[in-house]
Chains A and B, each alone.
Chain A
Amino acid sequence: MSAAVTWRRVALLVLVATFVLAPALSPHDPAEQFRDHASRPPSCGSPCFPLGTDELGRDVLSRTLHGGQLSLSAGVGAASLAVLLGGLLGALAGAARRWLDLALSRVVDLLLALPWIYLLIGVRAALPLSVPSDRAYLLTMALLGVLGIGAPFRQARQAVRAARASEPVHAARGLGASERYLLTQHLLPAAVPGLAALWLMLVPGFVLAEVALSFLGLGIGEPAVSWGTVLAQLRDYPVLVSQWWMFAPVLALVAFLALLPVRGWSHDPGWLARRARLPATDRGTHAAPAS
């Protein structure tokens, strides 16, 4: 492993740790309004605002840290859910009979064809209003995850179908292996490396989806804070043109996305398989770019 990769991983770890420790590192409550200090550029008088304040006098650094915690965890959680659910359904479709495969595939095609943002708006509008912030957060994550199962589904289905036609599986079947044995020992493991790579590729997309949702005001409402709710203030023309410190979450988001080793890992899908000591025959044979 090169020194650059090591440093990148260390930097990523530090960045993620910063957001995880947001409550301890934030100088102020992210929702507290210092109304006499509204729209202040970065300054460290009394009180100290290292990244300035927004239009309501809230500390931008505290909001960026707490927002990062929410946006990143929602993105990672939603990506994990999508890969888990999509992977399982895809593997089932790949291993199952034709009619079940067809039914599952059409449902997923439908999910892929739907414009997710409108679907989310519709679902959000239909939900009960009195949902506490923590449940609203879980709900948003679950919605993003369920709506994002398309790519993992196709990835897993393709991998399992290819594995079914492979020589080791034919040999095992010839030796009398049961369908359950084939599924757990050969077919599902064949899908794992591709899904692992796909998970890494999906995380940035889901983080951005949560940010977009909150940016549009459809995420988790005040007093919870996400990068999207902080960035939403940039929709105001005067903030956009004169309050440069309000771009702080953009820098944090770009840093996170740049440090994620998506490219390197996705080009080496056998990485996780090696770490997981998966069967050599199945290692990295079915990795394909997500659709």
Chain B
Amino acid sequence: MKSPRWRGWQVAGLALLACVASDFAIGAVAGSAAASGPTGRFGGTLVVSQRAEPRTFNPFTALDVPSRDAIRLLMADLVSIDRSDLGTVPALAESWTIDPDRRTLDVVLRPGLRFSDGSPLTTDDVVFSLEAHLDPRVGSPQRESLAVGGRPPRIVRLDERRLRIELAATYAPGERLLDSIFVVPRRLLEPRLRDGSLGTAWGPGTPVGELVGAGPYRLQAYEPGKRLVYERNPHYWKRDEGGRRLPFLDRIEIRFFGDAESEALQLRAGQIDLLARLPAKTFSALQQRLPASRYRFQDAGPGLDYHFLVFNLGSGATDATQRRRQGWFRDPRFRRAVSQAADRDAIVRLVYDGRAAPIWQPVSPANRPWFDASLPRPSHSIVAARQDLAAAGFRVGAEGALVDRDGVAVTFTLLANSANPQHLKIAAILTQDLRSLGIGVQVVPLEFRSLLDRVLSRRDHDAALMALAPGDSDPASEMNVWLSSGRSHVWDPQPAQNPDWQLEIDALMRSQLVTTDPRQRRRAYQRVQQVAQREMPLVCLVSPHMLTVVRRGLRNFRPGLLPPFALADADVLSWDENGTR
């Protein structure tokens, strides 16, 4: 399972998702390279922007999105998840097979693979890279994902091009496990693994010539605070339709700008060619101001992110006020009333300019293979909310304030990320909506890390407005959210006692992970969505659209649903003759 990346803002999306073929096959499955390559024109430079600098170039320890995006241009994995259609595609692996139990993966490497410094890439490097991820001294965040069933897999080198990965337990998502497990040269990093310093290798100060991978680009220059410059890797494995080595572009330049507004201004000034995951209102404003003859505006529909209100359902508060409030929050009728009162259409219209999908379950409609479209979508209704509250023993007291059975006025604080203007606006809308019920809400804007600390560690909050960006469309990536023991179990991170519905979710999530029948998996995850909608541990609100602006002339561009959103297909991007920078 992969950790979902927490973000207070920024979204991704694509309306039409193809079914993930590998998830719906029965029995032994296999994948292999496509026969024909992409077409394009060689040469040119692409300039994109990023809001933060990479903290490291170490593929084993990189956790943050900027670092992982920077590394993805330099490195390659065996099998990749296609960032647009979310299926699996072969990368360094020419083909693979999985046994019917989904415990053994046999992988065959492409012939003649080379790293960016020209040295050969063999199964020795692959085995080393997997073992490095599993070494506890390295501190790889993917170690937990690879240790399916709680034990590390057995990795067997069969020959120069073939290896076998034997998992300790059945893993239903199969080869998706290998996405983003980047292969590094053994001869360069083995000494660092031996002396226990691999976790600190390839930091941001590393000379660019020492960073060697099998990705489409090599790092040419890193100017901290300013830009990253990549040049094409002449040894990259992928070829175009005519058999010539990709990538098409000579250079990619990533410039650093702190926020979406600066990026928009730079785009207007012609300084950057491509902007992905734009805030909806900025997208609309740029659409009005930039000439359509020079820029292409793409609204690809909802992304995988979902934004929600979460109450603190814990029970161990020492403070009497918090204990009383947790009592209100633990009543599902209270949570349902809040959900009924939340005007999702107003949020979509006023905050996202209509470019978001209202949601009632913790799966975005963009995630078509897993989204349960049959679940009800109750409309905004203050009357229905009042009925739920009355059934739970709340009543309207003096001056229209809602009071509980003891006559205590119902008020709570709502945490929101202070750097996320969309969330602050949603909080203001919810404040007014809940005021209609007589509930007093005080919004507390907090710096994002403080907010996470409050929700996951200190747990002294009432409610929070948050977003989740799944690391994959597969429910396996949501294990740490839905399992009561998960590290991102935001409604009750360390439960003293689980209610029945949570125990049912635990059982369903564990069963879908080891069920090899895709239809049973789908049924199990749909049941999770049904329970989640009935019990509302998360009051799901919206899934914003994936919005992109691209300078015309850039070919083969597809916005990614997973990071890297802008450079999902960096190896096949190319400029038309007129578009070359």
Q: Which residues of chain A have a CB within 8 Å of any CB of chain B?
A: 31-33, 35, 38, 55-57, 121, 124-125, 128-130, 132-133, 216-218, 221-223, 232-233, 235-242
Query: For residue B261, which residues in chain A have a CB less than 8 angstroms away from its CB?
Result: 235-237, 240
Query: How far in angstroms is the closest Cβ of chain B from A136?
Result: 8
Assess whether A32 is in contact with B432, with CB atoms less than 8 Å apart: yes
Query: How far in angstroms is the closest Cβ of chain B from A60?
Result: 14
Assess whether B431 is in contact with A31, with CB atoms less than 8 Å apart: yes
Assess whether A217 is in contact with B413, with CB atoms less than 8 Å apart: no
Assess whether B431 is in contact with A223, with CB atoms less than 8 Å apart: yes
Closest to A128 in B: B460
Q: Apart from A33-B432, A129-B460, what are 8 other A-B pairs with CB-CB below 8 Å?
A: A35-B343, A56-B350, A217-B445, A222-B443, A236-B421, A237-B261, A238-B282, A238-B284
Closest to B282 in A: A237
Q: List 26 A-B contacts (CB under 8 A).
A: A31-B428, A31-B431, A35-B343, A55-B281, A56-B428, A125-B446, A129-B413, A129-B444, A129-B460, A129-B462, A130-B412, A216-B418, A217-B424, A218-B445, A221-B427, A221-B445, A222-B424, A222-B428, A223-B431, A223-B443, A232-B421, A235-B259, A235-B421, A237-B265, A238-B281, A241-B289
Q: Is B477 an interface residue (CB 8 A)?
A: no
Query: For residue B432, which residues in chain A have a CB less than 8 angstroms away from its CB?
Result: 31-33
Distance between Cα atoms of A243 and B261 in the complex (Å): 15
Distance between Cα atoms of A241 and B287 in the complex (Å): 13
Most buried by B among A124, A125, A133, A217: A217
Which one, A130, A236, A240, contacts B279 given CB within 8 A?
A: A236
Query: For residue A130, which residues in chain B have a CB less than 8 angstroms away from its CB?
Result: 321-322, 412-413, 442, 462
Q: A129-B413, A129-B461 are contacts. A236–B442 as well, Cβ < 8 Å?
A: no
Closest to A233 in B: B421
Distance between Cα atoms of A221 and B416 in the complex (Å): 10
Interface size class of B (residues with CB under 8 A): 35 or more
Query: For residue A32, which residues in chain B have a CB less than 8 angstroms away from its CB?
Result: 432
Distance between Cα atoms of A242 and B460 in the complex (Å): 41
Q: Is B450 an interface residue (CB 8 A)?
A: yes
Assess whether B350 is in contact with A236, with CB atoms less than 8 Å apart: no
Distance between Cα atoms of A242 and B285 in the complex (Å): 8
Assess whether A237 is in contact with B260, with CB atoms less than 8 Å apart: yes
Q: A236-B261, A238-B282, A238-B285 are contacts. A221–B443 as well, Cβ < 8 Å?
A: yes
Q: A32-B432, A238-B284, A242-B285 are contacts. A55–B425 as well, Cβ < 8 Å?
A: yes
Q: Which 10 A-B pairs have the closest CB atoms?
A: A217-B418, A238-B285, A217-B445, A125-B450, A221-B443, A222-B443, A238-B281, A237-B261, A237-B282, A237-B264
Query: How far in angstroms is the closest Cβ of chain B from A124?
Result: 8
Distance between Cα atoms of A222 and B445 in the complex (Å): 9
Query: How far in angstroms is the closest Cβ of chain A from B328?
Result: 14
Closest to A221 in B: B443
Distance between Cα atoms of A133 and B424 in the complex (Å): 17
Query: For residue A35, which residues in chain B have a CB less than 8 angstroms away from its CB?
Result: 343, 346, 349-350
Assess whether A241 is in contact with B285, with CB atoms less than 8 Å apart: yes
Closest to B450 in A: A125
Closest to B433 in A: A33
Q: Is B415 an interface residue (CB 8 A)?
A: yes
In B336-352, the 8 Å CB interface with A consists of 343, 346, 349-351
Distance between Cα atoms of A57 and B289 in the complex (Å): 24
Assess whether B282 is in contact with A236, with CB atoms less than 8 Å apart: yes
Q: Is B241 an interface residue (CB 8 A)?
A: no
Query: How far in angstroms is the closest Cβ of chain B from A280?
Result: 52
Q: Is B147 an interface residue (CB 8 A)?
A: no
Query: For residue A128, which residues in chain B have a CB less than 8 angstroms away from its CB?
Result: 460
Query: How far in angstroms is the closest Cβ of chain A from B454?
Result: 7
Query: How far in angstroms is the closest Cβ of chain B from A193?
Result: 40
Distance between Cα atoms of A242 and B288 in the complex (Å): 11
In B300-348, the 8 Å CB interface with A consists of 321-322, 343, 346
Distance between Cα atoms of A236 and B284 in the complex (Å): 12
Distance between Cα atoms of A262 and B460 in the complex (Å): 44
Query: How far in angstroms is the closest Cβ of chain B from A52?
Result: 15
Query: For residue A242, which residues in chain B have a CB less than 8 angstroms away from its CB?
Result: 285
Q: A33-B432, A130-B322, A236-B261 are contacts. A125–B462 as well, Cβ < 8 Å?
A: no
Assess whether B350 is in contact with A55, with CB atoms less than 8 Å apart: yes
Distance between Cα atoms of A55 and B460 in the complex (Å): 32
Assess whether A236 is in contact with B281, with CB atoms less than 8 Å apart: yes
Query: How far in angstroms is the closest Cβ of chain B from A231?
Result: 12
Query: For residue B279, which residues in chain A have a CB less than 8 angstroms away from its CB?
Result: 236-237
Query: For residue B429, which residues in chain A have a CB less than 8 angstroms away from its CB?
Result: 33, 56
Query: How far in angstroms is the closest Cβ of chain A from B462?
Result: 7
Most buried by A among B265, B428, B461: B428
Distance between Cα atoms of A241 and B351 in the complex (Å): 17
Query: How far in angstroms is the closest Cβ of chain B from A143?
Result: 15
Query: For residue A33, which residues in chain B have a CB less than 8 angstroms away from its CB?
Result: 428-429, 432
Query: For residue B424, which residues in chain A have a CB less than 8 angstroms away from its CB?
Result: 217, 222, 232
Query: How far in angstroms is the closest Cβ of chain A from B257?
Result: 12
Distance between Cα atoms of A133 and B429 in the complex (Å): 18
Query: How far in angstroms is the closest Cβ of chain B from A81?
Result: 23
Query: How far in angstroms is the closest Cβ of chain A from B346?
Result: 5
Query: How far in angstroms is the closest Cβ of chain B from A24?
Result: 20
Query: For residue B446, which residues in chain A have a CB less than 8 angstroms away from its CB?
Result: 124-125
Residue-wise, chain B 158-180 has the 8 Å CB interface mask toward A (1 for contact) of 00000000000000000000000
Query: For residue B265, which residues in chain A have a CB less than 8 angstroms away from its CB?
Result: 237
Residue-wise, chain B 264-297 has the 8 Å CB interface mask toward A (1 for contact) of 1100000000000001011011100100000000
Assess whether B415 is in contact with A129, with CB atoms less than 8 Å apart: yes
Q: Is B99 an interface residue (CB 8 A)?
A: no
Query: How far in angstroms is the closest Cβ of chain B from A41?
Result: 16
Q: Is B419 an interface residue (CB 8 A)?
A: yes
Which one, B260, B264, B421, B431, contacts A222 given CB within 8 A?
A: B431
Query: How far in angstroms is the closest Cβ of chain B from A197?
Result: 35
Query: How far in angstroms is the closest Cβ of chain A from B456?
Result: 14
Distance between Cα atoms of A236 and B282 in the complex (Å): 7
Distance between Cα atoms of A38 and B285 in the complex (Å): 16
Closest to B461 in A: A129
Q: Is B577 an interface residue (CB 8 A)?
A: no
Q: Is B64 an interface residue (CB 8 A)?
A: no
Query: How far in angstroms is the closest Cβ of chain B from A224?
Result: 8
Query: For residue B425, which residues in chain A have a CB less than 8 angstroms away from its CB?
Result: 55-56
Query: How far in angstroms is the closest Cβ of chain A from B316?
Result: 17
Query: For residue B349, which residues in chain A have a CB less than 8 angstroms away from its CB?
Result: 35, 38
Query: How far in angstroms is the closest Cβ of chain B from A228?
Result: 11
Distance between Cα atoms of A222 and B423 in the complex (Å): 12
In B534-577, the 8 Å CB interface with A consists of none
Which one, A124, A133, A237, contacts B281 given CB within 8 A?
A: A237
Distance between Cα atoms of A233 and B428 in the complex (Å): 13
Assess whether B442 is in contact with A237, with CB atoms less than 8 Å apart: no
Query: How far in angstroms is the closest Cβ of chain B from A184?
Result: 44
Query: For residue B461, which residues in chain A have a CB less than 8 angstroms away from its CB?
Result: 129
Closest to B264 in A: A237
Distance between Cα atoms of A234 and B232 in the complex (Å): 40
Query: How far in angstroms is the closest Cβ of chain B from A66?
Result: 14
Query: For residue A232, which residues in chain B have a CB less than 8 angstroms away from its CB?
Result: 421, 424
Query: For residue B322, which residues in chain A have a CB less than 8 angstroms away from its CB?
Result: 130
Query: For residue B351, which residues in chain A have a CB less than 8 angstroms away from its CB?
Result: 55
Distance between Cα atoms of A217 and B465 in the complex (Å): 14
Query: How far in angstroms is the closest Cβ of chain A from B9?
Result: 12
Query: How far in angstroms is the closest Cβ of chain A from B280?
Result: 9
Residue-wise, chain B 338-377 has the 8 Å CB interface mask toward A (1 for contact) of 0000010010011100000000000000000000000000
Query: For residue B427, which residues in chain A have a CB less than 8 angstroms away from its CB?
Result: 221-222
